[in-house]
């Protein structure tokens, strides 16, 4: 039984291109499967989350992060009686538009585009991927996903203005996304905050002692773990405390969302869409803990001197390849040269770079810019 405010598959606005129903999978299940079988999804395995493979093969990449988000989102959706199939589809597709090299790559690509009067947004790029770039079907370009999944791709983490983005007008920009889409943003936050504490410690950039001093929520659980498991290995104590942090965040998200929906008097999906703010949220107390955790991660991990050389290399690689192809469009693959007849050259180059894995962009940079860089 789904909650009254959940999005039922029967309420879907359908696909851009009509297709006959499947005998044993509904439309949101088919969307999930199409995402999983796409080339863009497979490429996530070789795209940086925070740490490159210089540290270890054990660190999260975009694909393993996506799987963790899907697990958290499915759990929360089930507890909230939301449409789990839609939630899973949105979780699996939410990062599909990210370029190589994590946020450093995205920052460099956006800067390169802004120099030409454009910009790069990974949500909008994800929409381009599922609408146009994926070529798997004879009847249409893209994956032909349902309206609700396409809407969730662009609206799960931010709101877009119809005035600023008129091309997105079909996606009900004056209304909130369904609860299933709202859930993805905070499941993503839970996943990366807890995972980055874990990976940061494994990389020896963070220590358990630093985390205990800088993240009061973690310290409260660590003290409990030490009392219960005084003889456990330090790593196991860390794991137990981190597990409790993750559990608290997910539990609070579920319980506070239930309370907010009830207090708002939401009776159906339209009530969710017309409510003046998003309903999926942490409680004020837990949001305060999340703010502390965000600040700690930015100050001690994301801006760490240990990561700066790789970030600088990533940004330089993206910048130099962007400059190379915008000044030499004839060096682009034939399919991208063809696109320049219909789209601005900077956008075509951006699309090409954004789709690359870390490995491929490094190979391209070594082949095309290596000699020039070495000569400087």
Q: Is the CB of residue 348 less than 8 Å from the CB of residue 354?
A: no
What integer is the mean pLDDT of 167-173? 95
Nearest partner of 262 among 248, 278, 279, 274, judged by Cα: 279
pLDDT surpasses 90 at 20:
yes
Average pLDDT of the segment spanning 321-326: 97
What CATH architecture is 26-308?
Orthogonal Bundle (1.10)
Cα–Cα dist 91/197, whole Å: 21
Residue 375 has pLDDT above 50, yes or no: no
| Across 87-99, average pLDDT | 97
pLDDT at 371 over 60: no
Q: What's the average model confidence in pLDDT over 27-42?
A: 98
pLDDT per position as a tens digit, 172-231: 999 999 999 999 999 999 999 999 999 999 999 999 999 999 999 999 999 999 999 999
Q: Average the pLDDT over each of 38-47, 55-64, 124-133 and give the range with the smallest value.
A: 55-64
Residues 195 and 239: beta-carbon distance below 8 Å: no
For residue 373, name the pLDDT band (cuts at 50, 70, 90): very low
CB burial of residue 230 (10 Å; 0-12, 13-18, 19+): exposed
What pLDDT is stored for residue 55 in this prediction?
62
In this prediction, residue 54 carries a pLDDT of 63
Query: Per-residue pLDDT for 374 more than 50?
Result: no
Per-domain boundaries in the chain: 26-308
Nearest 10 degrees: CA dihedral of 362, 367, 368, 369?
Answer: 70
Mean pLDDT of the region 354-376: 81
Using pLDDT thresholds of 50, 70 and 90, give the confidence band for residue 376: very low
């Amino acid at each position: 039984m789904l909650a009254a405010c959940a999005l039922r598959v029967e309420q879907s606005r359908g696909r851009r291109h009509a297709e006959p129903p499947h005998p044993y999978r509904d439309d949101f299940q088919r969307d999930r499967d199409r995402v999983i079988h796409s080339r863009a999804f497979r490429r996530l395995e070789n795209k940086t989350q925070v740490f490159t493979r210089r540290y270890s093969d054990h660190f999260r990449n975009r694909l393993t992060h996506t799987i963790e988000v899907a697990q958290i989102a499915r759990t929360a959706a089930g507890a909230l009686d939301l449409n789990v199939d839609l939630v899973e589809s949105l979780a699996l597709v939410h990062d599909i538009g990210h370029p190589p090299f994590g946020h450093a790559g995205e920052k460099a690509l956006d800067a390169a585009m802004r120099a030409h009067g454009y910009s790069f947004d990974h949500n909008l790029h994800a929409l381009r991927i599922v609408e146009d770039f994926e070529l798997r079907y004879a009847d249409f370009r893209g994956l032909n996903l349902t309206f609700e999944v396409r809407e969730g791709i662009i609206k799960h983490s931010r709101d877009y203005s119809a005035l600023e983005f008129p091309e997105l007008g079909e996606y009900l920009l004056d209304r909130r996304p369904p609860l299933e889409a709202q859930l993805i943003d905070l499941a993503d936050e839970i996943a990366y905050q807890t995972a980055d504490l874990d990976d940061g410690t494994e990389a020896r950039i963070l220590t358990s002692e630093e985390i205990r001093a800088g993240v009061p929520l973690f310290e409260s659980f660590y003290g409990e773990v030490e009392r219960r498991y005084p003889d456990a290995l330090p790593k196991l104590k860390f794991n137990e405390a981190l597990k409790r942090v993750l559990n608290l965040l997910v539990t609070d998200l579920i319980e506070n969302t239930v309370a907010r929906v009830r207090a708002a008097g939401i009776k159906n999906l339209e009530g969710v869409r017309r409510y003046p703010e998003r309903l999926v949220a942490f409680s004020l107390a837990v949001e305060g803990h999340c703010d502390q955790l965000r600040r700690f991660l930015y100050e001690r991990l994301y801006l760490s001197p240990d990561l700066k050389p790789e970030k600088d290399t990533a940004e330089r690689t993206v910048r130099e390849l962007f400059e190379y192809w915008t000044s030499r469009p004839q060096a682009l693959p034939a399919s991208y040269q063809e696109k320049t007849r219909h789209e601005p050259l900077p956008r075509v180059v951006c699309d090409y770079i954004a789709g690359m894995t870390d490995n491929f962009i490094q190979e391209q940079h070594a082949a095309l810019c290596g000699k020039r860089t070495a000569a400087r």
